[in-house]
Amino acid sequence: MQFWIIQGLNSLSLGGLLFLLSSGFSLIFGLMRLANLTHGAFFMLGTYFAAIAMRSYDGLNIWVTALGAGIAVAAIGGLFERLVLARLRTNPLGQVLVTLGMSFIISDACLMLWGGDSIPVPTPQNLQAPTRLYGFVFPTYRLVLVGCAITAAIVLYVLLERTRLGAMIRAGVDDAQMARAVGIPVSRLFTMVFCLGAGIAGAGGVLGGPILSAYPGLDADMLPLALIVVILGGIGSLLGAFIGSFIIGLIYTFGTALFPELAYIILFLPMIFVIAFRPQGLFGRVGA
Amino acid sequence: MTMSRRQFVGGVAGAGIASIAAPNPVHGQAGEPIRIGLLAAKTGPLASGGIDMDLALTMFLKERENTLGGRKVELIVADTAGVPTTARTKAQELVEKNNVHCIIGPLAAFEALAIADYLTEKQMPTLGVAAAEDMTQRHPSPWFVRLTSTSAQCAYPLAEYSAKELKYKKIVTIADDFAYGHEMCAGFQRAFEDNGGKVIQKIFTPLATPDYGSYVAQVKSADAIFLGTAGSNGFRFLRQFIEYGLKDRMAVIGGMTALDESVLRNMGDEALGVLTTSWYSAELDNPLNKNFASAFRKQFKYDPGYYAASTYVSGEVLEAALKAVNGNVDDKKALMTAIRSSDAQTVRGLVKFDEFGNVIGNVYIRKVAKIDGRLVNSVIKTYPDVTQFWTYDKTAFLQNPVYSRDYPPAKNLEP
């Protein structure tokens, strides 16, 4: 019984982390039809920002750090989109290659700046003690992380479904040409969404930091997870990213606990099935 | 093409005479520097260790004013990026373009294996760092020595120590899911169980494991957990292990890379009290190491660990051999013989090699302690002259299959 409860909570916390990682990826893909392979690197940038900032300034608040890193990474993302991706709008393959190149550049830059050691991101002081409930012990921070993901999901939902900006983004996702024809500034929208997606990844990187630590290769570890979540959940769908994150969290956690040798098979098998039988994903608006 | 026997014999003889008559202009000139090639991963995920290897070897040569055995030395560093194919290309470059006289490195077993055959074929004296067991067991090369440790060599003493002195009965092992982790855990299990203990669970995690939570939560109740990890993975696992409140319930012990100095320098007090085993510690109390560790710390602001020490010891072994051959590196066979009959005092203690080219040297049990505000691996016990075969019979050892995930079989796993 304890096994199921602890691993259940583990699934939830991993799902929360995955949502923070993949919601931005899904947004960008949905609107721009661009598999942004820099996404893992954006996430890693956030983690490194947190690791370095919190090492340099003792007692720095993680929420403030997340906000700061989110804005910083959003700015980097925005520049990248304006200066590079915007020029390649008609060349989707070129765009994907450029984002891949950019991810290599970022990861090598991180290595040059901060070295090859892994650097911990401290767990907030007041969340360090494990939560003890009915004899179960579970890290408090992981529970808080689930809360973060749910909050982020609600904020994004309101933004997309209840604001003018959200309506324009949804219009762009459904039919970019038609949206442009009715006067929506799709190009500017692209930049905004790219900033938003990158910013969420950066902030997510900070929040995931206490679990993951900053280390070279973090980007490459995270990117496939974002891909799986988004393909499973459905591209461009916030609900899809949300449900997909928790499904993958569940599969990954119980998979590695019950069949540790098959960790990767268990993780990728559902994705293959989904691509084969339901290419638009569980909640997708557009085909993969 | 056909070739008569006479032509063939004549050709070979001719080549021999030619090489006597006109020695290769690149080699063999007195006053020409000795060229040492270092293969180290200076970019990519293994960069931390690779950079330390470079720093320490450069420091070693500088201390000797770039002169070994009476001859000037030139160091050529090649970045393998931690990729086997790159390691292969760089090795070839060092041998054929830079005409190096010997090679030190590389760091990772998969890199070392990728170039092993090539270096043997080129008869290139190589001082290895990587731990893959079979490189000095079932597939040794006359041109290769290893002065660090096999994967399991340092695990045996800790296994014995755990069973005999710490009286542990049950242990869980966790390691990365590749040969290094398999071999180390296998060796640990063998020695621990031969001393009456039981390994009740063996966990292997993929090299890229984003979240260790689900692995931590399945750790069975035991006296201790043995970390067979390398690099950042052990460190990340340990943090989660503590967050789940498990460190209060069982002890943590680790292999030679689990809490290396390069890992410790980024850890906090949570590491205090963890026991690990290695052939080196920055805290080793011998005059050579006192000089080395304090000079390294002064220059780079952190303690040298496994990787820094590996190339520094390589330098020391090489220096002793070069003295023995009076700096004559062109007779590669004599150089290799001198290396292999090493009796060098180094920062890790005395280094000798067995007939397979693997080091026979001290292994230290170390405990994480805090000295002058920084975490160090303080030595609590020394196992002198440990060989790669531990207490086992060499012939029987070599007749067994190489250590793996499933060998020797774990008979005491709890369901």
The pLDDT of residue B2: 43
Q: Are residues B268 and B388 in the same domain?
A: yes
- CATH number (domain holding residue B245): 3.40.50.2300
Best mutation target, A47, A117, A207, A222, to test chain B (most B CBs within 10 A):
A117
The pLDDT of residue A32: 83
Question: What percentage of chain B carries pLDDT values higher than 90?
Answer: 74
Task: Report strand pairing: B359-371 vs B374-386.
Answer: antiparallel
Domain count, chain B: 2
Q: Are residues B95 and B43 in the same domain?
A: yes
Task: Report strand pairing: B224-227 vs B170-176.
Answer: parallel
Q: Are residues B186 and B254 in the same domain?
A: yes
Q: What are the chain A neighbours of B231 within 8 Å (beta carbons)?
A: 118, 215
DSSP symbols for B33-86 = PEEEEEEE--SSTTHHHHHHHHHHHHHHHHHTTTEETTEEEEEEEEE-TT-HHH
B50 CA: distance to closest CA in chain A (Å): 9
Token pair, residue B161, equals: 């120590």
8 Å CB contact of B214 and A137:
no
- Give how far the C-alpha of residue B273 lies from the chain's centroid of Cα atoms, to the nearest Å: 24
Confidence of residue B14 (pLDDT cuts 50, 70, 90): very low
User: Is A6 in the B-facing interface, judged by CB distances under 8 Å?
Assistant: yes
Q: Are residues B392 and B265 in the same domain?
A: yes
Does some domain include residue A284? no
User: Is A216 in the B-facing interface, judged by CB distances under 8 Å?
Assistant: yes
Q: Are residues B252 and B177 in the same domain?
A: yes
Helix, strand, coil percentages in chain A from 3-state DSSP, rounded to 5: 75, 5, 20
Does some domain include residue B12? no
| Angstrom distance (rounded) from CA A4 to CA A7 | 5
Rounded to 5 degrees, φ, ψ at B384 are -80, 145
Give the residue among A28, A287, A5 at the shortest CA–CA distance from A143. A5
Burial class (CB in 10 A: 0-12, 13-18, 19+), B371: exposed
Which residue among A108, A139, A260 places its CB closest to the CB of B243?
Answer: A139
| Pure H helices in A84-139 | 92-114
Q: What are the chain B neighbours of A13 within 8 Å (beta carbons)?
A: 213
- Write down the number of H helices and E strands in chain B: 13, 15
Burial class (CB in 10 A: 0-12, 13-18, 19+), B382: middle
18-77 of A, contacting B, C-beta below 8 A: none
Rounded to 5 degrees, φ, ψ at B261 are -55, -35
Which residues from B are below 8 Å from A when comparing CB atoms?
A: 43-51, 203-206, 208-211, 213-215, 217-218, 231-232, 235-236, 239-240, 243-245, 262-263, 265-268
Q: What are the pLDDT digits (tens) for B66-81?
A: 999 889 999 999 999 8
Rounded to 5 degrees, φ, ψ at B201 are -155, 135
| Angstrom distance (rounded) from CA B234 to CA B229 | 5
For B214, nearest residue in chain A (alpha carbons): A253
Give the residue among B227, B157, B190 at the shortest CA–CA distance from B404. B190
Best mutation target, A128, A211, A254, A267, to test chain B (most B CBs within 10 A):
A211
Does some domain include residue B226? yes
Q: Are residues B235 and B278 in the same domain?
A: yes
| Angstrom distance (rounded) from CA B294 to CA B115 | 34
Domain count, chain A: 1
Residues of chain A with confidence (pLDDT) below 50: 287-288
The pLDDT of residue A202: 97
Q: What are the chain A neighbours of B45 within 8 Å (beta carbons)?
A: 116, 215-217
Which residue among A17, A120, A253 places its CB closest to the CB of B214?
Answer: A253
Per-residue pLDDT averaged across B259-285, rounded?
91
| Angstrom distance (rounded) from CA A167 to CA A211 | 35
| Angstrom distance (rounded) from CA B354 to CA B211 | 41
Q: Are residues B366 and B279 in the same domain?
A: yes
* ipTM of this complex: 0.79
**Cβ contacts of residue B334 below 8 Å, gap of 6+?**
B325, B328
Does some domain include residue B193? yes
| Angstrom distance (rounded) from CA A213 to CA A203 | 14
Residue A99 pairs in a beta bridge with none
The pLDDT of residue A137: 82
The pLDDT of residue A241: 92
8 Å CB contact of B236 and A261:
no
Domain that holds residue B219: 155-284+362-399
Best mutation target, B172, B182, B243, B303, to test chain A (most A CBs within 10 A):
B243
Q: Are residues B172 and B112 in the same domain?
A: no
CA distances from A266 to A250, A251, A255, A269, A271 (A): 11, 7, 6, 6, 9
8 Å CB contact of B244 and A137:
yes
Reported as half-sphere exposure (CB side, CA atoms, 13 A), residue B237 has a value of 32
* Buried/exposed code over A146-172 (b: 16+ C-beta within 10 A; e: otherwise): bebbeebbeebeeebeeeeebebbbbb
Domain that holds residue A51: 2-277
Question: What percentage of chain A carries pLDDT values higher than 70?
Answer: 99
Per-residue pLDDT averaged across B223-233, rounded?
90
User: Are residues B262 and B305 in contact, defined by beta-carbon separation less than 8 angstroms?
Assistant: yes
**Cβ contacts of residue A189 below 8 Å, gap of 6+?**
A31, A168, A169, A172
CA distances from B264 to A54, A244, B192, B261 (A): 18, 37, 26, 5
User: Are residues B40 and B107 in contact, defined by beta-carbon separation less than 8 angstroms?
Assistant: yes
Does some domain include residue A283? no
* DSSP symbol at B98: S
Does some domain include residue A282? no
For B44, nearest residue in chain A (alpha carbons): A216
Q: Are residues B57 and B143 in the same domain?
A: yes
A184 CA: distance to closest CA in chain B (Å): 40
8 Å CB contact of A215 and B211:
no
Q: What are the pLDDT digits (tens) for B372-387?
A: 889 999 999 999 999 9
| Angstrom distance (rounded) from CA B74 to CA B97 | 14
For A254, nearest residue in chain B (alpha carbons): B214
CA distances from B380 to A167, B74, B151, B262 (A): 67, 39, 21, 20
Does some domain include residue B314? yes
* DSSP symbol at A259: -
Please give the residue that has the higher pLDDT: either B53 or B243. B53
Does some domain include residue B395? yes
Q: Are residues B255 and B385 in the same domain?
A: yes
Does some domain include residue B181? yes
Which residue among A118, A212, A222 places its CB closest to the CB of B266?
Answer: A118
Q: What are the chain B neighbours of A139 within 8 Å (beta carbons)?
A: 213, 240, 243-244
Does some domain include residue A193? yes
Q: Are residues B134 and B230 in the same domain?
A: no
A100 CA: distance to closest CA in chain B (Å): 16
- CATH number (domain holding residue A261): 1.10.3470
Residue B322 has pLDDT above 90, yes or no: yes
Q: Are residues B50 and B100 in the same domain?
A: yes
Residue B13 has pLDDT above 70, yes or no: no
**Cβ contacts of residue B282 below 8 Å, gap of 6+?**
B261, B289, B293, B296, B297, B303, B304, B305, B309, B376, B377
User: Are residues B67 and B119 in contact, defined by beta-carbon separation less than 8 angstroms?
Assistant: no
Per-residue pLDDT averaged across B183-210, rounded?
93
| Angstrom distance (rounded) from CA A256 to CA A248 | 12
Mean pLDDT for all residues in chain B: 89
Does some domain include residue B237? yes
Phi-psi group of A59: left, alpha or beta (phi > 0 → left; psi -120 to 50 → alpha; rest → beta): left
| Pure H helices in B93-230 | 109-121, 155-164, 179-194, 213-216
Rounded to 5 degrees, φ, ψ at B381 are -155, 145
Q: What are the pLDDT digits (tens) for A20-77?
A: 999 999 999 888 888 899 999 999 999 999 999 998 888 889 999 999 999 999 999 9
The pLDDT of residue A285: 62
B241 CA: distance to closest CA in chain A (Å): 10
Question: What percentage of chain A carries pLDDT values higher than 90?
Answer: 48
The pLDDT of residue B36: 96
Give the residue among A26, A10, A44 at the shortest CA–CA distance from B211. A10
8 Å CB contact of A213 and B231:
no
Which residue among B209, B214, B232 places its CB closest to the CB of A118?
Answer: B232
Q: What are the pLDDT digits (tens) for A148-157?
A: 999 999 999 9
Residue B176 pairs in a beta bridge with B205
Residue B359 has pLDDT above 60, yes or no: yes
8 Å CB contact of A116 and B208:
no
Q: What are the pLDDT digits (tens) for B22-68?
A: 444 444 445 789 999 999 998 776 788 899 999 999 999 999 999 99
